[in-house]
Amino acid sequence: PDTVAPNLVAAVSEARQWQRLMEMGELGGFRDADGHWGVNRACLTDNDRKSRRLLIRWAAEAGLTASIDQLGNLFLRHEGTDPTLAPVLTGSHMDSQPAGGRFDGIWGVIAGLEAVQALREAGVSTKRPIEVVAWTNEEGGRYAPGCMGSMAYAGYRPPETWDAVLDKEGIPFGQALAEHLKSEADIPRRPLGVVEGTAPFAYVEAHIEQGPTLESQDADIGIVTGIQGSRWFLVEITGKSDHAGTTPVGLRKDAVQDMVRAINALNTLMHDPTDTLRFTVASIEVLPNSSNSVAQTVRFTIDLRHPDNSILQPRGNAIEGVVQSAMRYCTAKVIERFHATPTVFHPMVPNAVEAAARAQGLRAIRLPSGAFHDAQFMHPLCPTGMIFVPCRGGVSHHPSEYSEPSELAAGARVLAQVLNDLANS
């Protein structure tokens, strides 16, 4: 429908949503050297658990019921007048980057709750149930890769795929997850993923843009058209540790030297005059990591992204060969850890977002997402879409990440109307 639901829109509370975001920002919150309030809330940590508990409490007060699946994905259900119908899903993630902000992920979950609570307070019932979901480990900072919860839900990978993945303390993902599930034993369990063949009717994820487009074009709402593809690799280079003062170059197997050659060769491979291909090396581990011992082992990550699979695929496939031919002294191993194909959303949700924004007099533009999201893994299951709101300077994954309370409220109002429209169709 191309009309505003006035009582529904009025029931969205800017103050309540903001207050909740600020309260969540205390969990794992810290002040950085420049005075920005950042968040470090890695998945399956104490702070992650506390944030889920807080969310469940607010949701219960609003009349929603909680359940979790075997990946720890948390669902908060608003019942439909016909509970047998496929639900509309909305949400995002509550974990953060190690030095993240107060909005990435968590806003999509809080906005989902705000929108559903507004529906209920406005006395608007929906035919379909609506479930607000918080996916486990979207960021991939503690356990790589990200999007484990949504990947397992979508059946993209079996749930035990990542059991042996270690964090920096050597704790396996499987153990952290088992401990988490044990501490959440009082929350009703639900089967993982789509059971009895009923896929959700639609999935809508609200998120800060994490880029500069909306702000620079003075738009209130981003109608997300799709998500570029990503591939993550881990490269391990093995040489031999030796005395830095006594070992002649000819006898060395220096893993750092070969890593530098490999990264330089990769930079050449990934050069893109159109600046569309994104190639990032951002995590480097050196062993034994001592200034007077030649490096024995180096591990580094590659994050590669492009909206076009015909470029993403061959460039990604070329990494192994380029790394191998850069080795002068050492041996190298390249493992692919994550692969999300470029996604173009089904028009249903984007069109609903556009209609809601227009009906509310907001300026909305269509744009693709440069960041990946759980929505990428929901896309094969059901019509999927995202709502972006501007963030200051386009900054995210940093404590200075910021969106105005009014910008976030506008996003929640659009989400409320979209959920209302989808859940009644």
**CA 114 from centre of chain:** 20
Q: Is 201 in the site for ligand GLV (CB under 6 A)?
A: no
Residues paired with 30 in a beta bridge: 38
Q: Could you tell me the smallest distance in angstroms from the CB atom of residue 158 to Mn ion?
A: 23
Residue 58 interaction partner, one of ligand GLV, Mn ion, none, beta carbon < 5-8 Å per kind: none
Give the integer Cα–Cα distance in Å for 200 and 202.
5
DSSP 173: H
CB-CB contact of 414 with 357 (8 Å): yes
Choose which of 371, 394, 395, 405 interacts with ligand GLV (CB under 6 A): 371
Listed in order, strand segments (DSSP E) in 32-179 are 37-39, 65-68, 74-78, 88-93, 130-135
Omega of the bond prior to 342 within 30 degrees of 0, cis?
no
Binding to Mn ion, residues 359-418 (CB under 5 A): 371
Q: Could you tell me the two tokens for 103?
A: 């909005």
> CB 371 → ligand GLV: shortest distance, Å?
3
Residues 314-333 that bind Mn ion (CB under 5 A): none
Between 128 and 305, whose beta carbon lies closer to ligand GLV?
Answer: 305
Crossing angle (nearest 10°) for helices 46-61 and 106-121: 10
| Closest among 260, 211, 268 to 239, alpha carbons compared | 260
* Bridge partner residues of 304 (DSSP): 231, 279
By beta-carbon proximity to ligand GLV, the closer residue of 9 and 208 is 208
- How many residues of this chain bind Mn ion (CB under 5 A)? 3
372 binds ligand GLV (CB under 6 A): yes
Could you tell me how many residues of this chain bind ligand GLV (CB under 6 A)? 4
**Smallest distance from the beta carbon of 146 to Mn ion, in angstroms?**
6
Question: What 3-state DSSP class applies to 24?
Answer: helix
Nearer to ligand GLV, 374 or 421 (CB): 374
Q: Could you tell me which of 70, 77, 71 has the C-alpha nearest to residue 91? A: 77
- Distance between terminal CA atoms of the chain? 10
* Near ligand GLV by CB under 6 A: residue from 131, 139, 374, 407: 139
What letters, b where the CB count within 10 A reaches 16 and e where it falls short, cover 175-204?
A: ebbeebbeebeebeeeebbeeeeebbbbbb
Q: Which of residues 93-132 bind Mn ion (CB under 5 A)?
A: 104-105
Nearer to ligand GLV, 287 or 371 (CB): 371
Q: Which of 72, 101, 146, 200 binds ligand GLV (CB under 6 A)?
A: 146
The answer to whether 338 touches 144, Cβ cutoff 8 Å, is yes
Contact between 108 and ligand GLV per CB under 6 A: no
Question: Which of 334/371 has CB closer to Mn ion?
Answer: 371
At 65, phi and psi to the nearest 5? -110, 140
CB of 374 to ligand GLV, least distance (A): 10
Interacting partner of 80 out of ligand GLV, Mn ion, none (Cβ under 5 to 8 A depending on kind): none
Smallest gap from Cβ 93 to Mn ion, in A, equals: 6
User: What track of x and - describes contact with ligand GLV for positions 315 through 354 (by CB under 6 A)?
Assistant: ----------------------------------------
Give the binding site for ligand GLV (CB under 6 A): 139, 146, 371-372
Give the binding site for Mn ion (CB under 5 A): 104-105, 371
